[in-house]
Structure formats: structure tokens, C-alpha cells
């Protein structure tokens, strides 16, 4: 398997504080993470847990650690993701950069993928997440 880096970005017409709130609030994360809940206090070294709910039962499916945080600017965390990737962590990064008319949000994921088809799926999911984050920051 090879390590792949997936990176997407877009401009969000909202205050940086609103974008940051969307990224770090469990309430918002559930909406852009396909009904999964990401829990953490977002402090360097803190645990991060990804929960899903299925048939009324909430279960932790991924656990990791917050690697770096500069509040309102950037964060990076590592998760041991889906069961089929239990041996390979996923490193996720968010970066907010000022841009004329808004904020550029850059999302990066580094992970090992066994097939090109899975790369397309993960990349497509990342693009959908960005669009949902944009909508939440601009309209909610």
C-alpha cells in the first residue's frame, strides 16, 4: 500500500470564528461527517473519538490524538479509522487562511489506500465535506 495525500480547498464567505466553530463543534461535525460525531476538547495531545449511531446504538469506531492546534487557524489530528484500516492511521489537517472576500479552508488527509477506487471515494467524500462546511458556516 502507498500513502496518499488528499487535499481540497475552497473559499468560505464567513468569519474565521464561525468556520472554526463549525470545524470543532460536535453539533456541526455530525452534519458534515455523514452523521458521525467527532468528540475532542481540541487541545494538543488530547484524545479524539469518532462515533457513529446505527439502529439507535452509538458506538466509537475511531480513536486518535490531536497533534497540533492553533485556535482559529489550523489543527491536525490522527485517527485510526475504519476497521479495514485499523493498522494505518489517517492524519487530517484543517487550515484557515485569509482570502479576499472570505476564508480559504484547506482540508488534507494522509492515509494508506489499497486501491485507486478507494482513493476516489475518499477524495469525493472530502469534497462533499467541504461543501457542507461551507454551507454551515455561511448559512447556519
The third-level CATH classification (topology) of the domain covering 2-139 is Alpha-D-Glucose-1,6-Bisphosphate; Chain A, domain 4 (3.30.530)
Domain ranges of the chain: 2-139
> Residue 126 carries which DSSP code?
H
pTM of the model: 0.86
**C-alpha pair distances (Å), 108 with each of 55, 56, 140:** 31, 31, 24
- DSSP output for 5-44: EEEEEEEE-S-HHHHHHHHH-HHHHHHHTTT-EEE----T
Of the candidates 118, 139, 133, 116, which has an alpha carbon nearest to the alpha carbon of residue 33?
133
pLDDT at position 34: 80
pLDDT at position 108: 94
**Phi, psi of 137, rounded to the nearest 5 degrees:** -70, -35
Residue 65 has pLDDT above 80, yes or no: yes
Amino acid at each position: 500500500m502507498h500513502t496518499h495525500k488528499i487535499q481540497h480547498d475552497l473559499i468560505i464567505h464567513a468569519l474565521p470564528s464561525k468556520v472554526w466553530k463549525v470545524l470543532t463543534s460536535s453539533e456541526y461535525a455530525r452534519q458534515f461527517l455523514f452523521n458521525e460525531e467527532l468528540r475532542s476538547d481540541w487541545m494538543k495531545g488530547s484524545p479524539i473519538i469518532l462515533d457513529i449511531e446505527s439502529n439507535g446504538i452509538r458506538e466509537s469506531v475511531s480513536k486518535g490524538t490531536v497533534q497540533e492546534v492553533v485556535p482559529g487557524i489550523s489543527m491536525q489530528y490522527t485517527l485510526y479509522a475504519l476497521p479495514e484500516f485499523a493498522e494505518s492511521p489517517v492524519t487530517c489537517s484543517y487550515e484557515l487562511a485569509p482570502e479576499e472576500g472570505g476564508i480559504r479552508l484547506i482540508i488534507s488527509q494522509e492515509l494508506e489506500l489499497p486501491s485507486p477506487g478507494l482513493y476516489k471515494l475518499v477524495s469525493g467524500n472530502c469534497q462533499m465535506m467541504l461543501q457542507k462546511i461551507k454551507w454551515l458556516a455561511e448559512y447556519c
